[in-house]
Chain A
Amino acid sequence: MAPKKAPEIMYCENRFCAGCGHSIFDRILGEVLTEMDIVGDTIMCSDIGCNHQFQFCMNVDTIVPPHGKMGAALTAQKKVRPDKYAITIAGDGGAYAIGLGETMSAATRNDNVTFFVMNNTVYAMTGGQMAPTTQPGQKTASTPAGRLASMNGEDFDVFNVMRSLDIAYLARTSITNPANIARTKKMVRKAIEKQRDNKGFSLVEVLVPCPTNWGLSPVDAMKHIDNVIAPRYEMGEVIDK
């Protein structure tokens, strides 16, 4: 079978590590933007971190505010150019730690913007330190003995804090196998359609592997999501208005 050709928006090879989940997600988003024929109607808002490297391989207009401030920037984007899609690919540290205030404020305003949050359980670009999403007991560069609830609190679950909000769409997915990739692609499209239909705020969290910082092979990192991480969370759609 001939490999499926990447859409034109993916204009060069990506810069991610082997087995990184970001590259898979970026390809999914590139396909959805292309299939919806909205590449030219989209202005991406980048986070700072591994996630931001989409800007070096995707031909889509992009702005890059400081780390985590996508909630604020997207809000302004959508007001200034309401005819353009305002979308971010965020990191879990950006969206849930340094930018949690901005993320929540955009959600509580039910701004008509779209968040895709890559949850790889660590700050990957800086060398794998603890993120809000780091798992209990998980060893990271800043939790050498493993994350302890007594020291670091419980891992962050976005469903717990957003479930009761008046927002358009909230979902969690992963990209660990073809079925999950297809499911993720549907959710990505749905989230963007919410914005198209002026429904309001949408957020899709994507569980993605970080083989480099997890110290696992790409295949084992995928298995780790399926066997260890995903079972700890509610998966799928919890808000769909």
Chain B
Amino acid sequence: MTGRRVALVGGGVGPFGVRAATWTELVQEAGKVLFDRLPNLSPKEVDSLFVGAAQPERFAFQSHVAPLVAELLGISPWKVVQRTELACASGQSAIRSAYACIAAGLSDVAVAVGVEKMNLPSMAEANTSMADVLDRPWDGVHGATAPPFFAMCAQRHMLEYGTTAEQMARVSLKNHRFANSNPTAQFYAKTFTLDKLLATPWVSPPLRLGDCSSMTDGAAAVLLVSEERARRYTDTPAWIAGSAQHADFHNLANMPSLTHWTGLERAARELYRSSGLGPRDLDLAEIHDCFTISEIIEYEELGFCPKGQGGRFIEEGQSELGGKIPVNPRGGLLGCGHPLGATGIAQAVEVLDQFQARVPPARQVSGAEVALVHNLSGSANVHSLMMYRREN
């Protein structure tokens, strides 16, 4: 690690779901939660703004959104202002950009906002936008959206490693159960059973509706500051301890393997090297369960278990509270929904809340001090990782 230390000192998440609210209204909701939580923060001291939004042009017919968010939150940034786009990892990109700017001395007080409005009058239109995340004229044109792509990963993982539909459903069951203690989750207070999940309709076989995260509306916001300012806002910041990313292909023909996500394996190695922390140090992980199979493959590439044993890892309860590494206590993308730009920010807020012991007991990891956050984007062709720790 080089540069100044950077702390995440506050966060706010608005209600996720199929919302009767516009893109602009979602931003206002999340911004209010952030500023209400930080009475010592005036919007006028925020020198930089980063807006993580994947497709405002298509979902809200609005580009150049950073000044819109600044206006809504009363921020007049004078150091750095930008939007970050990395599909499903747009939110983490906003945090990473803020982190880089603060570490480099270009900013001292930065807000990162993530937002997506995905439920439109025509969902076919929204699905069209989701298909342009992949290689639109060569893969999307055939009907490649996320579900059939991750379905192929699941099919090969089942074939090569013996992973079962029941193991996949157990990922969904765990994350929905966690979401039951998260009032901002799309599936808050909704009860699922294994049998119920295994009987949901097919989306893209072998993936059923219960294996898929949702098209969700939502927003979230965090405050990041330089080391010397951290204690002004909280006694318990989340310090950024490391970060890594990897991108390796675009067209599906050029993916090295459907089941062995080498890019994630490589990014994880770099994260563990740069932070000096490894899987054994983790108290919890917030990882990208856009589909149940994603979480299973991620266990393996992140080194939580040996390659091919992700199915067994969930079956044995190793990712539950009290297991080897509790995974997605927030409720995951499966339980909270997946408003693309907001997801990465909401995951970071969960880490801060876990460190500050302010989540309900049903999902609180006691004494949480080290946490990993992962987002994949597109066809798992980009992996974004961050490491947080409670002590500086």
- On whether the two chains bind one another, the answer is no
A residues sitting closer than 8 Å to B (CB atoms) are none
B residues sitting closer than 8 Å to A (CB atoms) are none
